[in-house]
Amino acid sequence: MAPALPRTVRAVDTDQLLDLEQEAAAYGFSQRLPVDWLQEHLATEATHHLFPTLVHRLSHRPEVSPQWRCQLLLTVRTGEQILGLLDVLPDTFDRLPETLDDASKKDIVNRIERAVSQREWAERVLTTDPPPR
């Protein structure tokens, strides 16, 4: 039986998040962001947060099932916090240290609920601040 979905939030630094995203890419998980996009846009010294919200089961891929679909609160170079999604193996999530108190977790979940999506943010940034030629 799969472990129960934890009702907690975990904090990770940018390097840890990139490792999680690379693992998701290596396993071919459907919810992840491109590592090169993250390297370009994440604040290097920031803390990001993962909040498991659903158990994702893949009957056709039992070797990587279940996964926990996490909402991500990402801090980008502009200082804004945006929403992303990331599928994580339960054992991988469990290895992340528990560092936040209950009040901080509630605050983060509230910020997740108000955050604009990565797609919305990227569309806004690319249309208002086009890259140099």
User: What are the pLDDT digits (tens) for 32-83?
Assistant: 999 999 999 999 999 999 999 998 777 777 777 788 999 999 999 999 999 9
The full length of the chain comes to 133
Supply the pTM of this predicted model: 0.87
User: What are the pLDDT digits (tens) for 119-129?
Assistant: 999 998 877 65
Residues in a beta bridge with 6: none
CA distance 73 to 64: 24
Question: CA 65 → CA 9, 39, 111, 119, distances in Å?
Answer: 21, 28, 29, 27
Torsion of CA 39, 97, 114, 69, to 10 degrees: 80
